[in-house]
Every structure is written in C-alpha cells, then in structure tokens.
Amino acid sequence: MDTASAPVGRSDPGIGRPLARFSGFWKWLGVLPFFLFCALFLLAPIVTLTDGAFRAADGGYTLDNILALSSPNIVASYSLSIRLSLVSAALGTVTGLLLAYAIILGGLPAWVRPVFLTFSGVASNFAGVPLAFAFIATLGRLGLVTIVLREVFGFNLYATGFNLFSFWGLALTYLYFQMPLMLLVITPAMDGIRREWREAAESLGATRRQYWTMVALPLITPSVLGCFLLLFANAFGTLATVYALTGSNYSVVPIVLFQQIRGNVLYNPNLGYALALGMVAIMVVSNVLYMILRMRAERWHK
C-alpha cells in the first residue's frame, strides 16, 4: 500500500491550534461570572445614571440637573458628606494602624491576632439599623454606658456637650466599622515589615524612633494613604446608618438622593441621578488613587 502515514509521535499542528484556543477559553471561563456581575451591577447602573442625569422630566436632554448640583443645599450636603467621611476615615486610619501595630508587632500572645481579625471581618460589615440601635442602646441618653457613667461614677456624658445624633456622634458610630476595616487592609503591609530592616538599622546605630520615622513609616505610608482613601469611600456611600440614627435631619448626600428618588415632596428622579453621578465620580477618584497607592506599596515591598 502506498498510503502515507504520519510519523509516530508527531501530532498534526492543525489539531493543536483548536485545542489551544479551547484551552484558553476554559482559562477565562472562571472569571466570566465576575465580568458578567460587573456588567450588570456596575457598568449598566452607571450608564443608566449618566443617561438619567442629562434628561428632563419630559424625556429630553438637558443640563439643568447637572447645574442644579451647584445649588446651596446640595453643595452643603456634599460638603457635609465629605467632611464626615474625612473625619471618620482619619479616625479609623489612626486607631486601626495603632491596633494593627499592637497585634502584629506589639508582642501580644499568638491567639490575639486571629481573634481580632475574625471579629474585624464581622464588625467591618456591621452597619445600618442594627449598628444604629446598638449605639442608641449604649451611648444614647438612656443608653447603658450613659446611665452607668451617671449613676455609678457621677459623670454626665451629655452635660459635656456630647450628642450621639450630632456630627461627632456619627463619626464615632462610623468608627465601629472603619477601624476593623483598617485593621484588615493594613495587616498585609504590617506583615511586610521585615525584621532584617530593623536589625540593619540598629546595627548602623539607629534608635527605635529613627527606625520608624526614617525606614518603616516611609515604606508603609503608601499603604496607609491607600487605606485612608478606601475608608473615605466606604464612609461616603453610607446611608442606612445615618438614616436609622438621625432620620432625614442630617442631610448627607445619600439621604438627599433618597429624598429625590423616593420622597413625596422633593421628588425629582433625574436630579437624584445627577446626585448619584456626582457620588460615583468622587468614589471613582478615591478608588483610582487607592489602587495607584496600593500598586506603589506592593512594588516597594518586593
């Protein structure tokens, strides 16, 4: 027979190409649900918000909703949200950083770290009505801690000017989930501080203070700043906690947006879309800066 046969052990290259393409498809199949989720719950809402922000009540396109964002009450709501987010993020960053230092580098027993990290994973997601009720029952005018301080120690907390339903009361409430979140996200950076760096600094005659101010802190500063931006974004979008604690009396941006979308008096959905678009813009800026700082921190730790 003169039929040609392929050499043994040699495969047809024409068959390998479809197999390679099929193998590449399976590699991307695992992340397909993620891209689908982003398209449905991130990209599509942003497109809807953008379209609604530039439409009037009659369906035509207009710039009135965007221009309305410069009105005094809306500017005041954005200012209040930004100030509250900055303060709560700063408090969460400082306290969370100190907590992370105590747990990771402070020489505490080994069982302390998993306990705190487990609790932080729960507390960082504890918000809304349960969190507001917990603080009212604890630090309200008839809260447990308030009564104990007054009846046992003779200290009237509210006579000092403290008010749970004020700006600083909200910042304190935000701290409950900001500090655990800071602990979770700064832990990898604290773990990245190598013992060899401190030994090298000490061998060159550096004191403990000089080591932290000239070696350790500069290395973790991008991570700390990135965590601060993440906490800012986390606080800026909070609605349920503020609404459950103060009702509609504290006009942060999410509450003003809620009033425009669902309210009976201040009902203007397109203005609500414009408000939401402004929030998205602020969140995008803060998250992009966070990602830049995170990549910079990871490059420094390599």
pLDDT in tens, 8-33: 555 555 555 555 565 666 777 778 88
pLDDT at 98: 93
CA distances 188 to 182, 192, 230, 280, 298, Å, are 11, 6, 15, 28, 10
Average pLDDT, the chain: 84
Least confident of 8-17, 164-173, 194-203: 8-17
Q: How confident is the model at residue 81 (pLDDT cuts 50, 70, 90)?
A: very high
Q: How confident is the model at residue 1 (pLDDT cuts 50, 70, 90)?
A: very low
pLDDT at 267: 76
pLDDT at 75: 92
SS3 percent helix, strand, coil of the chain, rounded to 5, is 75, 0, 25
pLDDT tens-digit series, residues 53-77: 898 888 888 888 899 889 998 999 9
SS3 (DSSP) at 81 = helix
CATH of domain 72-301: 1.10.3720.10
The mean pLDDT value for 165-178 works out to 91
Residues 245, 249, 254, 259: what is their CA dihedral angle, to the nearest 10 degrees? 120
pLDDT at 262: 76
pLDDT at 119: 92
The mean pLDDT value for 112-141 works out to 89
Give domain limits for the chain: 72-301
Q: How confident is the model at residue 297 (pLDDT cuts 50, 70, 90)?
A: confident
Give the C-alpha separation, 177 to 171, whole Å.
11
**Would you put residue 107 in left (φ > 0), alpha (ψ -120 to 50) or beta?**
left
pLDDT at 256: 87
Q: Considering the chain, what percentage of its residues have pLDDT values greater than 90?
A: 26
SS3 (DSSP) at 153 = coil
Residue 132: closest CA among 88, 165, 158: 165
Which residue, chain included where needed, has tokens 């105590």? 102
Is the pLDDT at 116 greater than 70, yes or no? yes
Give the C-alpha separation, 247 to 256, whole Å.
11
SS3 (DSSP) at 5 = coil
Return all residues near 171 (Cβ < 8 A) that are at least 6 apart: 84, 87, 88, 91
pLDDT at 106: 82
Residue 290: closest CA among 189, 222, 188: 222
Claim: this prediction has a pTM higher than 0.85: no
The mean pLDDT value for 176-201 works out to 88
Q: How confident is the model at residue 165 (pLDDT cuts 50, 70, 90)?
A: confident
Read off the tokens for 53.
């922000």
The mean pLDDT value for 99-118 works out to 89
